[in-house]
């Protein structure tokens, strides 16, 4: 997979660029913190456990601003050839992490380091080498499936011929099982077109056909039935095996879908609770005293027993005569789990990956152009230097 070593301070520049197929892209981040300033609406006498919540600190006066931590100094690595799921309750920072790593954050304060193949990366460079598929599929309703896929290829891949466009479009359409609807209009709320599952697969086909090095997806199975959800995740797994780095936010997947992911990232209160192989997750939490019952979906187990208060913990809270709220007690639990993660062998392995990155130079075809397919607004980004 290329040479490995310590991070280097070299920026990606034209002397590092070749004209070959996109090389694998590894994205690493260390002590990544994202926060926003919000107005205080709660006075300081609101309860002594308030400081334990996700607000970093309380101001002296209620009209002052305070800092809300969205991501709390997290460290991790997303590697080529693997499919990663980011899971966690609402408000845990899942989508914020995707937005940061894809260069889509324009407000708030970001601290820490992000690297692409060992080289320092800013929001511009992150946007150049990655594609982002949001929950809302934005495509021109008056175009067919084939037309939007071909348009994505045409405007994102420089110097490509029509024959090459056809080859790429055919491959993407076949892989995503869109042959039957390739000549059907996308449609909208007024004019019926393709189904929700077909729309999602078309969005993925548009990105797959352009050979982007990193693919980020925000809940790609949202609103889909069980069969279509499994099909989408299987296709993402297939795409990752071509050497792409594929990272997806997903909300409580079924047991079968959960097992399709190579790696799992668990976030809660902006902190990492687990980051590692899917197959090791159950054993990891069993060592912390959380036993997953037989024949139980590990994803359900994580949400009900690990990330939330179970019956035993609620009884313990009463026995201890805890003076705070359930939210306070839960925050203490999450903080304890986050500290356990930081001292674990698995966390040490992640840190080693971050410190010994892939050092292959990114080539010119790693750079993509942004296409707003809802308005045909084409914005070229290739001349920006990382």
Q: What is the pLDDT of residue 14?
A: 31
Q: What is the pLDDT of residue 363?
A: 62
Return all residues near 343 (Cβ < 8 A) that are at least 6 apart.
Answer: none
Residue 86 lies in domain: 27-36+67-363
Return all residues near 77 (Cβ < 8 A) that are at least 6 apart.
Answer: 26, 27, 28, 29, 350, 353, 354, 357
Considering all CA atoms of the chain, what is the largest pairwise distance in Å, rounded to the nearest integer? 72
State the chain's mean pLDDT as an integer.
82
Q: What is the pLDDT of residue 61?
A: 53
pLDDT band at 73 (very low <50, low <70, confident <90, very high): very high
User: Looking at the 3D structure of the chain, how many domains does it have?
Assistant: 1
In a domain, 379, yes or no: no
The Cα–Cα gap between 101 and 121 comes to 9
> Which pLDDT tens digit goes with each residue over 239-251?
899 889 999 999 8
Which residue, among 77, 119, 111, 5, has the nearest Cα to 275 in the 3D structure? 77
Angle at 136 between CA 67 and CA 265, to 5 degrees: 55
Assess whether pLDDT exceeds 60 at residue 19: no
CA 356 to chain CA mean position, Å: 22
Identify which has the larger pLDDT, 1 or 27.
27
In a domain, 285, yes or no: yes
pLDDT band at 366 (very low <50, low <70, confident <90, very high): low
pTM of the entire predicted model: 0.80
Assess whether pLDDT exceeds 90 at residue 27: yes
Return all residues near 251 (Cβ < 8 A) that are at least 6 apart.
Answer: 87, 219, 221, 222
Q: What is the pLDDT of residue 370?
A: 45
Spell out the alpha helix ranges (H) of 102-254: 123-129, 145-156, 162-175, 196-208, 226-240
**Number of C-beta neighbours around residue 287 at 10 A:** 9
In a domain, 12, yes or no: no
In a domain, 161, yes or no: yes
Return all residues near 309 (Cβ < 8 A) that are at least 6 apart.
Answer: 317, 326, 329, 330, 333
Place of tokens 């590894």: 26
- Going from the C-alpha of 25 to that of each of 21, 22, 195, 242, 360, the distances in angstroms are 12, 8, 33, 12, 8
In a domain, 138, yes or no: yes
Assess whether pLDDT exceeds 60 at residue 385: no
Which residue, among 168, 178, 162, has the nearest Cα to 210 in the 3D structure? 168
Range of 50-64, 113-127, 361-375 with top mean pLDDT: 113-127
In a domain, 60, yes or no: no
Assess whether pLDDT exceeds 60 at residue 21: no
> Which pLDDT tens digit goes with each residue over 298-326?
999 999 999 988 778 888 888 888 888 88
In a domain, 9, yes or no: no
pLDDT band at 104 (very low <50, low <70, confident <90, very high): confident
Return all residues near 382 (Cβ < 8 A) that are at least 6 apart.
Answer: 128, 158, 364, 367, 369
Rg over alpha carbons for the chain, rounded to the nearest Å, is 22
Provide the Cα torsion 329, 332, 333, 336; round to 10°: -170
The enclosing domain of 261 has a CATH number of 3.40.50.300
Assess whether pLDDT exceeds 70 at residue 90: yes
pLDDT band at 125 (very low <50, low <70, confident <90, very high): confident
In a domain, 3, yes or no: no
pLDDT band at 345 (very low <50, low <70, confident <90, very high): very high
Q: What is the pLDDT of residue 310?
A: 79
pLDDT band at 375 (very low <50, low <70, confident <90, very high): very low
- Going from the C-alpha of 313 to that of each of 89, 171, 305, 322, 326, the distances in angstroms are 18, 52, 10, 11, 10
pLDDT band at 208 (very low <50, low <70, confident <90, very high): confident
> Which pLDDT tens digit goes with each residue over 187-200?
988 888 999 889 98
Which residue, among 274, 288, 242, has the nearest Cα to 350 in the 3D structure? 274
What tokens appear for 306 in the block? 């690990």
The Cα–Cα gap between 341 and 339 comes to 5
The Cα–Cα gap between 161 and 62 comes to 62
């Amino acid at each position: 997979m290329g040479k490995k070593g310590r991070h280097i301070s070299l920026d990606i520049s034209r002397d590092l660029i070749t004209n070959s197929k996109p090389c694998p892209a590894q994205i690493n981040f260390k002590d990544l913190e994202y926060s926003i300033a919000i107005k205080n609406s709660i006075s300081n006498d609101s309860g002594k456990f308030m400081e334990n919540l996700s607000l970093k600190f309380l101001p002296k006066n209620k009209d002052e601003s305070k800092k809300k931590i969205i991501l709390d100094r997290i460290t991790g690595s997303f590697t080529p050839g693997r499919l990663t799921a980011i899971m966690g309750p609402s408000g845990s920072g899942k989508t914020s992490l995707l937005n940061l790593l894809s260069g889509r954050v324009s407000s708030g304060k970001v601290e820490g380091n992000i690297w692409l193949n060992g080289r320092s990366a800013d929001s511009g460079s992150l946007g150049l080498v990655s594609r982002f598929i949001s929950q809302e599929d934005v495509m021109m309703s008056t175009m067919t499936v084939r037309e939007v896929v071909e348009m994505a290829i045409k405007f994102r891949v420089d110097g490509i011929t029509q024959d090459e466009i056809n080859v790429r479009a055919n491959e993407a359409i076949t892989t995503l099982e869109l042959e039957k609807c390739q000549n059907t209009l996308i449609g909208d709320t007024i004019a019926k077109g393709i189904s929700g599952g077909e729309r999602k697969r078309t969005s993925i086909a548009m990105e797959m056909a352009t050979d982007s090095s990193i693919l980020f997806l925000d809940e790609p199975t949202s609103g889909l039935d069980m069969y279509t959800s499994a099909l989408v995740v299987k296709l993402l797994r297939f795409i990752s095996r071509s050497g792409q780095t594929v990272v997806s936010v997903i909300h409580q997947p079924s047991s079968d879908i959960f097992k399709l992911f190579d790696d799992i990232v668990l976030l809660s209160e902006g902190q990492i609770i687990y980051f590692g192989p899917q197959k090791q997750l159950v054993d990891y939490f069993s060592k912390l005293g959380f036993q997953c019952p037989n024949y139980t979906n590990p994803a359900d187990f994580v949400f009900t027993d690990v990330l939330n208060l179970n019956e035993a913990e609620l009884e313990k809270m009463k026995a201890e005569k805890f003076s705070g709220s359930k939210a306070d007690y839960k925050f203490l639990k999450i903080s304890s789990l986050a500290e356990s993660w930081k001292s674990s062998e698995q966390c040490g392995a992640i840190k080693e990956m971050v410190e010994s990155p892939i050092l292959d130079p990114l080539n010119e075809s790693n750079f993509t152009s942004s296409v707003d397919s809802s308005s045909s607004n084409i914005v070229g980004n290739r001349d920006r230097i990382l």
